[in-house]
Amino acid sequence: MSLISLLIIEKGYKEMYPFYSWKLFTVPSGGEATEDQYRLYGIIGQDTIRILNTPARSYEASYKAVIVGTYGKKIDENDDRETNKAKLLIFAKDTEPKYKEFLLYKETYRPKEIGEAKMNINKKLIIKL
Q: Residues with Cβ < 8 Å from 14, sequence gap 6 or more?
A: 8
- Sorted by where each begins, the domain ranges of the chain are 1-27, 32-128
Helix orientation angle between 81-95 and 61-76, rounded to the nearest 10 degrees:
150
Count Cβ atoms below 10 Å from residue 57 Cβ, excluding itself. 7
- The 8 Å CB, 24+ separation contacts for 85-88 are 85/127, 85/129, 88/40, 88/129
Indicate the pTM of the whole model: 0.69
User: CA 81, 123, 38, 129 torsion: positive or negative?
Assistant: negative
Output the tens digit of pLDDT for each of the chain's 129 residues. 556 666 666 776 665 555 544 444 555 555 567 788 899 999 988 888 898 888 777 778 778 888 899 999 999 998 888 999 999 999 999 888 889 899 999 998 887 777 778 878 889 999 998
Distance CA 3, CA 77 (A): 42
